[in-house]
Chains A and B, each alone.
Chain A
Amino acid sequence: MQDRTPQNIKLGIFVLLGLASLVTLLYFMGAQKNLFGKQFPVEVVFRNVSGLRVGNNVRLGGINIGTVRKIVLEADTAVRVTLTVDHELAPLIKTNDVASLGTDGLMGNRVVNIEPGPSGAPSIAPNGVLAAREALDMDAMMRTLDITNRNFARMSEDLVQTVQRINNSEALWAVLEDEQLPAHIRATVRNIQSASQKADLLVADIQTVIREVASSEQGIIALMKDSTLMTDLHAASGRLRRVTEQADSLGATLQRAATSLSTDLAEGEGPLNAILRDSSLTRSVQRSLSNVEKGTDAFNLNMEALKSHFLFRGYFRRLEKEARKQAEIKE
């Protein structure tokens, strides 16, 4: 009996170690699946759970806080999923949070993600129902992708045609291959820069003028604000228009008269033509004019004699005196 005691102790240690490793593993697995400790049930009604299974993880903010405990198909479009989450973390789940289905990694297990809603909502009660956001439908995504692919194919065809047209365009290539073009463009840009500098100066001058005008009390702004000015301008333009019309009609009349005169001259009819073309009449007129000139000289002599006459001499002196007075006043 005595010699077997150490054997039994070794055996006991061996068995304890073996079972302890198993129990430890099971404990951590249980802790991972929230089997120990107080649990808090929350419910979500999905339309489609997309392969969600009992035991899948529940995540809040990307951290596992519980597991899926029960999945019940209530109707053809309603699947009630009961989640159990850690009782201590349950106050973090608010009534307006939204549950959605996700995947752990690219090809991993399904998970229920609880996404926070707008802040300010109260914490959810036990067995409270969270709103559900439906998972992305793979078929719908593929359908959309198919349409996108077709559009891309069409766009690429158009792009090919466009590139071909660009390649075949001689004008475009001539522009691209023109070695003088860059120099011209540079010169143009320089001119534009110069023009813009001048424009800047001009604008500055205009601003100065505007400031001066604005600062003066009797400025152009006051002038522009004068409503009578517009009325006057309107009336003036009306008059101008009438004058122009009259000038037009006068011009037309003159035109007609000139036309008539030129016609008369050309055709040799009428009094004007007779006067201008009759040489005897011309001579008699010249004689008459010569007589008139002689008559005028005689009249002048008579007038000088009249001034010297005692009857009219006082009258002419008074006239001279008044003329001198007027000249002095002007000076």
Chain B
Amino acid sequence: MKLQFPSYRLILEELGGLARFTGQFFRNWAAPRMEIQEFFRQCYMIGYRSVGLVAITGFILGLVMTIQSRPTMARFGAESWIPSMVAISIIREIGPVITALICAGKIGSGIGAELGSMKVTEQIDAMEVSGTNPFKYLVVTRVWATTLMVPVLVCCSDTIAIWGSYLAVNMKNETSLALFSQQVVDSLSFSDVLPAFIKTFFFGFAIGIVGCYKGYTSSKGTEGVGLAANSAVVMASLLVFVLDLLAAQVTDTLGLN
């Protein structure tokens, strides 16, 4: 029990710190002097620079899901349902979550390490001295960038995953692109696409805010930078799953399933 108390306290402490940090973000997100250029630079770094990784992940995801589900579907004589099944799985759940986890690993750790190193090298303090609002310049721009870029990355990932699925379907059978697209579109409804798209904004926000919080509040020198990057990935990944659970509950409650 004595061992568990500090960890329990640590979790609460982390949650409290994150809540305060989030509050600080909302106090600063629409403050005057918008750092537009920095925002676009962050969008480029976070969004564009992650496309390759996300595209490869998405492609393999669609390919593997189709290959893995084929034997089971074939056993039930339902191979023609593979496009529908894979499309629903990818767009509703797997595409957003996997892409968010990839982003948590790449972007969350990057932000945590970058801000952590700036913190420990007292660059943030120097910005404050120079009259620049470091929170607005560093945190608000990054959080906005992740919030807006992760959904775009998920769209790209989903699209490429469905292409991967089309390739996998054609590896053993022959299905025209028109028929495949028709089956995908037929199987999807707005209640599949829109809630999945909306929750990716929350995933992006969680990745950005956790990365920035961990980096912005890091300490203990260079050791703290690594710790910040590591804990940012862990916490962002965990938050992605928690948010996914909440999203599933909300969509279920609203009858959007």
Contact = CB atoms under 8 A, between A and B. Distances in A.
A33 B186 CA distance: 9
A29 B152 contact: no
B156 A18 contact: yes
Contact of A21 (B37, B51, B159, B188): B159
Nearest to A32: B185
A185 to B, nearest CB: 52
A8 B193 CA distance: 28
Interface in B36-52: 37, 40-41, 43-44, 47-48, 51
A26 B188 CA distance: 9
Contacts of A252: none
A245 to B, nearest CB: 94
Interface residues of A, number: 20
Q: What's the dominant secondary structure at chain B's contact region? A: helix
B72 to A, nearest CB: 16
Nearest to A13: B48
Contacts of B197: 22
B44 A15 contact: no
B48 A11 contact: yes
A178 B64 CA distance: 71
Contact of B43 (A11, A19, A21, A29): A11
Contacts of A21: 155-156, 158-159
Given A4-B40, A11-B40, A29 B156 contact: no
B48 A18 contact: no
A10 interface: yes
B190 interface: yes
A25 interface: yes
Contacts of B186: 32
B207 interface: no
A233 to B, nearest CB: 85
A55 B181 CA distance: 19
A173 interface: no
A18 B153 CA distance: 7
A26 B186 CA distance: 11
Contact of B189 (A15, A17, A19, A29): A29
A116 to B, nearest CB: 24
A18 B155 contact: yes
A168 interface: no
A94 to B, nearest CB: 27
Contacts of A7: 40-41, 44, 48
Given A14-B48, A29-B193, A32-B185, A8 B40 contact: yes
Given A25-B188, A29-B193, A14 B40 contact: no
Interface residues of B, number: 23
A11 B44 contact: yes
B188 A19 contact: no
Report which residue of A11, A15, A22, A28 has the largest number of chain B beta carbons within 10 angstroms of its beta carbon.
A11
Contacts of A10: 44, 48
A15 B43 CA distance: 10
Interface string B19-60: 000000000000000000100110110011001000000000
Given A8-B44, A29-B190, A32-B185, A15 B152 contact: yes
Contacts of B37: 1, 4
A55 B189 contact: yes
Contacts of A32: 185-186
Contact of B152 (A1, A8, A18): A18
6 contacts: A14-B47, A14-B152, A18-B151, A18-B153, A25-B185, A26-B193
6 interchain residue pairs of minimum CB distance: A18-B152, A21-B159, A18-B155, A7-B44, A22-B155, A11-B44
Interface of A: 1, 4, 7-8, 10-11, 14-15, 17-19, 21-22, 25-26, 28-29, 32-33, 55
Interface of B: 37, 40-41, 43-44, 47-48, 51, 151-153, 155-156, 158-159, 181, 185-186, 188-190, 193, 197
Given A17-B156, A21-B156, 6 more contacts: A8-B40, A10-B48, A11-B44, A14-B47, A25-B159, A26-B190
